[in-house]
Structure 1
């Protein structure tokens, strides 16, 4: 679209600061809490709302990936809601047809990438703030505290939808199901499985939040955190291409990304998108869903 505001899937703090007051732009903080597991099966997670309320980019709202932006009827955490339910939750945050979104977080970028992929999956134009809140503050940009006024509802109709509509247009192949991933694993469906967990999570040498350790057989390892520099920004393009190219080439298509819960995998999806790849799908249930079925194999190398 010719009048698009966002230059691509990644923006820096200078770009955002210059457009923070643009009414077409919605800024969402996607921070959530996910402590490292102390032992196998230790799944603790929580909302990042209080952290957002303490310090956030002025005018931003908190997008709660543990609340309205998760399908709580699913058998795993952080499940993406159905398109209409996702659109309804986003409308309550001020996102509507004609707006574009910049997502950020204060947790290393993976939460913002997760929200970006969710938005992308229903055709909402979105980008991630490179380096997140840390980069914003390091540049001396202003921060705000406290709550933000909610987006307006239809006057006099408390249960009505928002004044502005948001029409979800689901993209095909944005999400992979367990059955589709298993078909790839069996060689019955084209695709290359890529695990975005850190190496100890991939090889099974570290405790996991889930019932069993390891990775899906046939998977390649591409740790999502390894695609960022020490400041939490994406590596320069040449370095990023080299890091990805050591694991994937153009023949490895389509790429089916997963991790423990579909979060780090979204960061890897953003990295691949920055490199121009469009043959990406994300396994939403990831290892939390896969490991829950004892009949499904996992490989440990630790």
Structure 2
């Protein structure tokens, strides 16, 4: 498979032949015990226990989100995001490789943010598990991370248009004022409202389809082989309408968006607020069932 996905062997070769920034994007997110239970915490403690040598931790929960937004993981402005990425070592002309320790969804979200800013970015397919399975080394630290790092400002970001949609776009879509194919990337059980949810209400936006992001991954956490992905997503690849994706908070949707990008779609957008924002407004419709 080509494009933004790298195998552990690919990453080793790239490190040997050029400068790279490697970021662990993991967030600890517990399963909800009851509706409205949204418990998430920084993945930095796990990074300190074991990480790819030379990597840094990228905090999607705090540093790379907008704390003023009414929902978790909201993207900051492009300028703020660029400045915070520079603090993690991201700089002009140097590719970034994202990975995580949680099945790839966090790395995909970081990749989406980097790609939006025009940064050359990749995802380590299978994350730290794949790295370890390849017999490659990990390290641990409890000390200050790269204390000698001097942030180099990124250029003024030239953002990619069409990477995001908002609540008003979805309302226009529901009113049939705009054409799009809208998909939820949550599990079938969450989509149907059959299990406890982190969000205000169970269910999905009416009229939207369901392609669970985790169905695109194999048992080892790597994306399924390209021919298999093409069989699974073939109808979407031929769909003439732009594709809009949502989930609970724009994380699983980024995984589906990454897969579609790998397969050649360049007109995919994420609803950043997703069900965190949508379900919190009692005037917006929610539908149960599969």
Query: Do both share a fold (TM > 0.5)?
Result: yes
Q: 1:28 aligns with which of 23, 40, 45?
A: 23
Indicate the RMSD between aligned Cα atoms, in angstroms. 1.4
Q: Does 1:208 align with 2:210?
A: no
**Equivalent residue number for residue 39 of structure 1:** 34
State the alpha-carbon separation in 2 of the partners of residues 151 and 113 from structure 1: 28
SS at match of 1:114: helix
CA contact (8 A) 1:192 1:252 kept: no
- The normalised TM-score by structure 2 is 0.95
- The normalised TM-score by structure 1 is 0.92
Q: 1:224 aligns with which of 204, 209, 213?
A: 213
**Equivalent residue number for residue 112 of structure 1:** 107
Q: Does 1:198 align with 2:187?
A: yes
Superposition pairs for residues 1-302 of structure 1, below 5 Å?
Answer: 8-20=3-15, 24-146=19-141, 147=143, 148-150=145-147, 152-153=149-150, 162-245=151-234, 248-301=236-289
CA contact (8 A) 1:217 1:299 kept: yes
- Aligned pair in 2 of structure 1 residues 41, 8: CA closer, same or farther (>3 Å)? same
CA contact (8 A) 1:24 1:98 kept: no
TM-aligned CA deviation for residue 22 of structure 1: 5.2
Cα deviation digits, residues 117-173 of structure 1 (max 9, x gap): 0001111110100000000001100001114314633xxxxxxxx334343111111
State the alpha-carbon separation in 2 of the partners of residues 182 and 232 from structure 1: 35
State the alpha-carbon separation in 1 of the partners of residues 21 and 256 from structure 2: 24
State the alpha-carbon separation in 2 of the partners of residues 122 and 187 from structure 1: 31
State the alpha-carbon separation in 2 of the partners of residues 251 and 135 from structure 1: 33
The unaligned stretches of length 5 or more in structure 2 are: none
State the alpha-carbon separation in 2 of the partners of residues 92 and 150 from structure 1: 11
